[in-house]
Chains A and B, each alone.
Chain A
């Protein structure tokens, strides 16, 4: 158990819908990262938050957004879903913003039908 908690573990929805994925970092970790893993793109960095502030942005679509709350949990919002958004979404956390060791949650598997 990495200490990073993600919910839900599985999610099935339809095209055009909106979903929210939730992540609770390890106790004491201030940085949260979101990654997307799809079959054709591998593990891609989406976005990072550190202590409530956006720290770095990767290949995140405009239809996607995220935030980190004062209690340090984070949510990833995916809207106007398309078939190609089906993927495994991982959250990771680390102590600092400069990414020491990252620890990953078990992922949320999203299927868009």
Chain B
């Protein structure tokens, strides 16, 4: 099946800093989603982005499908951004496959 690798595995930031999270995948995809899992365990949809660029407030994402990667940008990070960020992809008619996530800690 498709492989999904996320980097870095862990990230510690000071409030106000910017960061870039990366997701590499091993095959062509027809769906790619970014999720934030907050400290209470909830999985929150951030972006549905099989290709192109999207922005939502301080967050933006870019997927370059031909090169098999996606990037999630977090600007002016806040403590509420802490949690685990997952990239998940769909290839063919399979189901969403998740990466192992990037654990982000934003300190005040």
A binds B: yes
Give the interface of A toward B (CB within 8 A). Answer: 2, 33, 42-43, 45, 48, 56, 58, 88, 90, 92, 98-104, 106-107, 109
Given contacts A99-B31, A100-B31, contact A106 B94 (CB under 8 A): no
Pick the contact of A107: B33, B35, B42, B88 (CB < 8 A): B42
The residues of A that contact B17 with a CB separation of less than 8 Å are none
Residue of B at shortest CB range from A47? B95
Query: Which residues of A lie under 8 Å from residue B45 when comparing CB positions?
Result: 2, 101, 103-104
Main SS of the interface on chain B?
Answer: strand
B33 shortest CB reach to chain A, Å = 7
Q: In chain A, what residue has the closest Cβ to B101?
A: A42
B12 at the binding interface (Cβ < 8 Å):
no
